[in-house]
Structure 1
Amino acid sequence: MTLANYIDIETTRDELIRACKQAADLIRTRVDYKYILVLLFLKRLSDEWKREYNEALKYLIEKEGLSREEAEELAKDISFHRFMYPEKYTWEELRKNVNELPVKLSEALKLLAEKNPELQGVVDRLDFLEFTRHRDNFDILVQLFELFSGLNLGRTSDSILGDAYEWIVGYFAPQKAKEGEVFTPSEVVELIVKIVAPKPLESVYDPAAGYARMLIRAYDYVKEKYGEEEAKKLFLYGQEVNPTTYAIAKMNAIVHGIKDINLVVGDTLKNPRFKDGESFRRFDVVIANPPWNQDGYGEVELKKAEFYEERFKYGYPPNNSADWAWIQHMLASAKRCVGVVIDNGCLFRGGKEKTIRKAILMDDLLECVILLPEKLFYNTGAPGAILIFNKQKPEERKSKVLFINASNEYEKHPEVRKLNRLGDEHIEKIVNAYREFKDVEGFCRVVSLDEIKENDYNLNVTLYVFPKEEVEEIDVAREWEELKAIEEEIRGVEGKIEEFLAELNYRVS
């Protein structure tokens, strides 16, 4: 097969997911799965650059009348490429000598970062030389490299590449959750994005960005509803404390076709990195699943933080749970609305958390509380909650809060035993309930702030709405007939037993 023919072959979704499954089986728990993501990213960039090069070469020769020698040199110009890629480190060149693979990969990633400022601290984050000091890891690397060599990702769509990244992250989520890594199930991400409903020209901010999955879904939501050109007008911002997670987030956004995303590294609660003059920046929509019950962010620590008086004006949380510190930061950073996935316990715990909760309620910022089903999350079986805050409440919603009890809205997870998930119909039911903002018996209820005050500012959803229990209808006449028939049968059996005993006594005597 010629190179010209090869670049026209598009790897399908099934082929790519199959390769990802083989890669996952290959490394299992022996190797950090992030190395798979980096290799997949590099393969994408290499194949894409090769396709762009050949297309430019053809154009320059056939349309511009350049000689092949002139065209070959000019086709490398950045004007023909999304990223500058070092030609001597294309996948085909790297494959020529697998014994030098760790060194060449490290050199390739370093050069990519140098040539593309937006990839600095991203592709050069993982060290393949350190990784392959163990001989077994070298063998795994070679096998992974050969596995991906069978793919051509030059024309594969961003959505397919994005699905592959999502599959890999989701596959290893149960394992990484045990190590403390936060993973928000994709259907929970879908639910919160549909509720906050970002629009073109709005800014969306995630202060606990993780792999940027909420921001990516916000982009896709606008793309699906308003079109790709309108989606490009959405401004995405995220801050992540872990540099390696930040690197994967940046790659994740790029493979999803989102190059213009503003991601930064840093501790959000202590030092929010997005500034607007002498203050922190505000955004139209703020969404996040911050670490639940994070310790170490009590009053003493938060008073050392930047802009602490503005960001934590409702009070300081206890040292053993930063839930309401995250919520306050998000509220202070929002112009329109906030959507946060949080531990259910922060809805009703007392002490300092109750003081903060009361003050926020009195400012009439809370719009909706959603109790999620149990066993949705990989790192806990406890039900989480979603809080929706609205700084632009319509008149008819003022001094009211909608409580949605979605504890029964789930199906069994098809791949992970003992886990549940939200199905499409469950997501739509919850979103519609939020939009309609009215009572539905056993599912949701609009509650006044006065009633919440009577309950001592407790936001426990089951205080306000409890699912209807399925009551089985009983046909009394039929049940009575069946009971009489059973009694008749019992009398018949008793008669036979008496006859048997009488005959037995006769024989003995």
Structure 2
Amino acid sequence: MSNNFQEKVTFIWDLADLLRGAYKRNEYQKVILPFTVLKRFDSVLEYSKKDVLDNYNNYKDTIGNLEPILSRAAVDKDGNELGFYNYSKYDFKSLIQDPDHIEENLMHYLDSFSPNIQDIFENFYIKNHISRLSKANLLFLLIKKFSESRVDLHPDKVSNHEMGTIFEELIRKFSEQSNEEAGEHFTPRDVVKLMTSLIFIENGIHLNDPNLIIKIYDPACGTGGMLTSCENFIREFNTTADVVLYGQEINQEIYAICKADMLIKGEISDNIKGPSSTLSEDQLPDDRFDFMISNPPYGRKWEQDKEAVVKEAEQGFEGRFGAGLPRINDGQLLFLEHMLSKMKKDEKSRIAVITNGSPLFTGDAGSGESNIRKWIIENDYLEAIIGLPDQLFYNTGIRTYIWVLTNQKPEERKGKIQLVDASKKYIKMRKSLGNKRHQLSDDDIENILDLYCKFDENDVIKVFDKEDFGYTKVTVERPLQLNFEVTEERLENLHAVNAFSKLAVSKSKDPETKLLEENEGKQVQDEITQALQRIDKPYQNWDEFEKRVKKALKQFQLSPAFIKNIIMALSEHDDTADYVTDAKGNNKPDGKLRDTEKIPLKKDIDEYFQREVLPYYPDAWMDRKKDKIGYEINFTQYFYQYQPPRSLEEIENDIKKVTAEIQELIKEDLDET
């Protein structure tokens, strides 16, 4: 950025000092950013303002819809339509000439913009801020400052690209100032640069093709920084390519910032959709994209989207969520499904998306998370995962991961998944910004890209077959073996039997009747207990004990289910007891001893069972009807390196050293007293 640009950024940034007292520090951007946008629009409209105003005055009383006429009249000096207009007689110069009515005139000025511009300022809540500034006697002063020559944003002085750079710099500075809040909408530049490089480094598209048309999309676009980074990357190779940017954002003010930034830079601002949730209201349902890049929110509930998402999931793969639904407290995998649904059908698409660790391994076989991973991996969409350092983001210090996905892998990567551990590739920042204490230097980024391109194994690169992340979750049963005995302790278990406890419960609302029925029920409970106490010896065979119980309780005419529950209440596990069998003589499983084994897909299940289970439990068996296929990527375990514990001598020396330091401190305190 040249000194001229930096001067403008610095001057606009310094205008925030005017707001001190009336606004909190983290609110400055809510005023400065929309007024910067307003000033730019005012400057751009200057060339054709008279023509627009003349057309408005000539046709306002005779034509209902003036938008086409005014849009054609609002042009730049080369005759190109600007895509927006304003038919008010006011501009920044005339507004400050009437300080007594500046609030009223400024409101009129805003109401005279074309609908696309009004949409931006409505989502900025600019009218609320105008009223607030007016009450604080700051509105005239702010407009006057923005009218100074140092904030000359006329297109003759500042091109669209240069203005976009100024605006992005302001967004970055404000975002870093309020890093905790901004972290949800603003991804640090170093991370964006790495992600951008990863999706273009192997693209299958010749970026220098003069007829190139590239569609790029971010479903959680925030301020649009990732989209801009992608376009800038392409422009380094091809200045004539038609790069079309698309995005959707849920936050109103952030949506306004992004849309304004796109309009400032001459992009198609209508391609930025919102403010609404991508998950429940996809505003680009029929579009497919060449490249997608995103940093969706981590660990955020998708409860507000649940009804729409579940309804769409019921459509299977006719909708976006056919692979499954994750648990309600984290929607990251929903964004992954959504982005994969936006890939082109017969052409190459590539995706770079950043997540925390949860989508890699959360969820057991058969869960929504595991099923989504299964679908992604079995369809060979996942190309690589890069593990990043911690403390890279403003609002969180956790480790994050970049997923690189595509529908057309290069030949050498087909059926393979590459893991890259880049957790040590960073430099410490001189001054932390919220939780961001580390950053990726240009050398770090080049290093990581080099690791990705090598595609061979070492300490920080692992290459797996896609099946290596899958497993069969097999249910292992062990036989039910019980002994039976009527003791005081075991009789207490009867009160946990629902049918037994209900005997002493009355549904009557009449107090006397209720008490009578409850007492009668307790009497029956006592009689059952007394009848059981006549069984005076232990048993190790279910059938024998069942016969004895039925005989003892014959007079009560209890149901078979009630009898079974009584028997279970009087039982305990006993490895020496007879096996409990069903009517066909098959061993019944003991639910308390039931276990599962995760057997890698590449291993023979029967061989595994013979080797790993039967030597320890020779009477165990597998219930293969309950088999479930799962997928998980336990990233850190693949890079784990054993560190031997410190020697006792070393630990003892450290203890002696610390003890000596403590004694010295105690001595100093005693000397002072």
Take 1:468 and 1:170, find their aligned partners in 2: how far apart are those partners? 41
CA shift, 1:341, in A, is 1.2
Matched with 2:7 is 15
1:374 aligns with 2:390: yes
Size of the aligned set, in residue pairs, is 431
Report the TM-score when normalising by structure 2.
0.59
Which of 168, 182, 190 aligns to 1:187? It is 190
1:78 aligns with 2:96: no
Aligned residue for 1:271, secondary structure, equals: coil
Take 2:103 and 2:316, find their aligned partners in 1: how far apart are those partners? 49
CA displacement 1:214-240 (0-9 Å, x = unmatched): 22222222212211x21xx12221122
After superposition, where does 1:292-441 map in structure 2 within 5 Å? 292-297=298-303, 302-305=309-312, 309-310=316-317, 311-335=320-344, 336-351=349-364, 352=367, 353-417=369-433, 419-439=437-457, 441=458
CA shift, 1:179, in A, is 7.6
CA shift, 1:317, in A, is 0.5
Matched with 2:90 is 89
Matched with 1:63 is none
8 Å contact kept, 2:133–2:139 = no
8 Å contact kept, 1:299–1:318 = no
Take 2:195 and 2:182, find their aligned partners in 1: how far apart are those partners? 25
Aligned residue for 1:340, secondary structure, equals: strand
The verdict on how the C-alpha distance between 1:223 and 1:118 changes in structure 2, with shifts beyond 3 A counting, is: farther
Which of 222, 238, 248 aligns to 2:234? It is 222
Aligned residue for 2:41, secondary structure, equals: helix
The verdict on how the C-alpha distance between 1:422 and 1:180 changes in structure 2, with shifts beyond 3 A counting, is: closer
8 Å contact kept, 2:295–2:353 = yes
Letter paired with 1:208: A
8 Å contact kept, 2:110–2:118 = no
CA displacement 1:404-433 (0-9 Å, x = unmatched): 111112223355345222111122222233
Matched with 2:171 is 169
Letter paired with 1:326: F
Take 1:410 and 1:176, find their aligned partners in 2: how far apart are those partners? 20
Matched with 1:443 is 460
8 Å contact kept, 2:198–2:449 = yes
Letter paired with 1:368: A
CA shift, 1:296, in A, is 2.9
Take 1:172 and 1:211, find their aligned partners in 2: how far apart are those partners? 12
Superposition misfits of 4+ residues, deviation over 6 angstroms: none
Matched with 2:152 is 152
The verdict on how the C-alpha distance between 1:176 and 1:93 changes in structure 2, with shifts beyond 3 A counting, is: farther
Which of 120, 123, 128 aligns to 2:121? It is 123
Take 2:466 and 2:94, find their aligned partners in 1: how far apart are those partners? 67
8 Å contact kept, 2:373–2:631 = yes
Greater displacement, 160-169 / 12-21: 160-169
8 Å contact kept, 2:186–2:225 = no
8 Å contact kept, 1:340–1:388 = yes
1:201 aligns with 2:216: no
Take 1:261 and 1:129, find their aligned partners in 2: how far apart are those partners? 22
8 Å contact kept, 1:443–1:467 = no
Matched with 2:290 is 284
1:39 aligns with 2:35: yes
The verdict on how the C-alpha distance between 1:313 and 1:223 changes in structure 2, with shifts beyond 3 A counting, is: same
Aligned residue for 1:413, secondary structure, equals: strand
CA shift, 1:189, in A, is 1.6
Greater displacement, 215-224 / 257-266: 257-266
Greater displacement, 447-456 / 308-317: 447-456
CA shift, 1:41, in A, is 1.2
The verdict on how the C-alpha distance between 1:408 and 1:98 changes in structure 2, with shifts beyond 3 A counting, is: farther
Matched with 1:49 is 45
Matched with 1:67 is none
Take 1:305 and 1:220, find their aligned partners in 2: how far apart are those partners? 36
Take 1:188 and 1:144, find their aligned partners in 2: how far apart are those partners? 35
Aligned residue for 2:277, secondary structure, equals: coil
The verdict on how the C-alpha distance between 1:220 and 1:103 changes in structure 2, with shifts beyond 3 A counting, is: farther
Take 1:176 and 1:131, find their aligned partners in 2: how far apart are those partners? 22
Aligned residue for 1:303, secondary structure, equals: helix
Q: Give the share of equivalent positions with the same residue, in percent.
A: 29
The verdict on how the C-alpha distance between 1:404 and 1:313 changes in structure 2, with shifts beyond 3 A counting, is: same
8 Å contact kept, 2:387–2:420 = yes
Take 1:414 and 1:20, find their aligned partners in 2: how far apart are those partners? 25
Take 1:96 and 1:168, find their aligned partners in 2: how far apart are those partners? 28
8 Å contact kept, 1:109–1:124 = no
CA displacement 1:256-299 (0-9 Å, x = unmatched): 332466111132111211133xxxx3222222111112213587
CA shift, 1:180, in A, is 7.4
CA shift, 1:377, in A, is 0.9
CA shift, 1:159, in A, is 3.6
Take 1:363 and 1:110, find their aligned partners in 2: how far apart are those partners? 52
Matched with 2:548 is none
Report the TM-score when normalising by structure 1.
0.76
8 Å contact kept, 1:11–1:152 = no
Matched with 1:212 is 224
Letter paired with 1:340: V
CA shift, 1:132, in A, is 4.4
Greater displacement, 133-142 / 307-316: 133-142
The verdict on how the C-alpha distance between 1:209 and 1:464 changes in structure 2, with shifts beyond 3 A counting, is: same
The verdict on how the C-alpha distance between 1:384 and 1:375 changes in structure 2, with shifts beyond 3 A counting, is: same
Greater displacement, 247-256 / 379-388: 247-256
